[in-house]
Homo-oligomer: A and B are copies of this chain.
Amino acid sequence: MTDAREMLDASPTGVPLGVAEVAAAIDACLDCVQSCTSCADSDLVEPDVQEMRACIALCLTCADVCGLVARILSRPAQSDHVVVDRLLQACVRECTLCAEECDRHAEHHRHCAICAKACRACEAACKSLTDAEVLRELEKLA
């Protein structure tokens, strides 16, 4: 069991969405912060830096967005549904864009291949939370 899951289980208020899914999303976001930060750093010293501009820009923003989402999801006791939902949407979108760009360079840059995988994992983990959000909203309307 990861630390994130242990910490969420120890929260006095519990976690509004599925605790396993939230813990998985936190872990995926933190992985993505690391991969994207390292990928941009590596891109900058590659001989083909001209071709890596979009990759660097996307990695920088992806690291920042994932870093925020990891923090927001780590605060279940007092979080707002709308804020969490919009941040998850932004994160899913940014991870998708970053994964697509990294995939383009995956064959000649190993750091891009690893980073693309981390982005896809984070996209999936956050997507599953937004879907859960949607379901909860539908239940309220039913």
Contacts and interface: CB of A to CB of B under 8 A. Distances in A.
A12 B42 contact: yes
A79 B67 CA distance: 17
A70 B71 CA distance: 14
A10 interface: yes
Interface in A58-99: 58, 60-61, 63-65, 67-68, 70-72, 74-80, 82-83, 86-87, 89-90, 93-94, 97
Contacts of A46: 12
Contacts of A94: 80, 83
A65 B68 contact: yes
Nearest to A8: B38
A interface, size bucket:
35 or more
Given A3-B34, A68-B65, A110-B10, A75 B49 contact: no
A124 interface: no
A137 B80 CA distance: 27
8 contacts: A13-B45, A30-B30, A37-B74, A53-B78, A58-B78, A64-B72, A82-B89, A87-B87
Ranked nearest first, the 5 interchain pairs of A and B with the lowest CB-CB distance are A57-B78, A86-B90, A7-B38, A41-B75, A10-B111
Given A57-B78, A65-B83, 6 more contacts: A3-B31, A3-B114, A10-B111, A12-B42, A12-B46, A61-B72
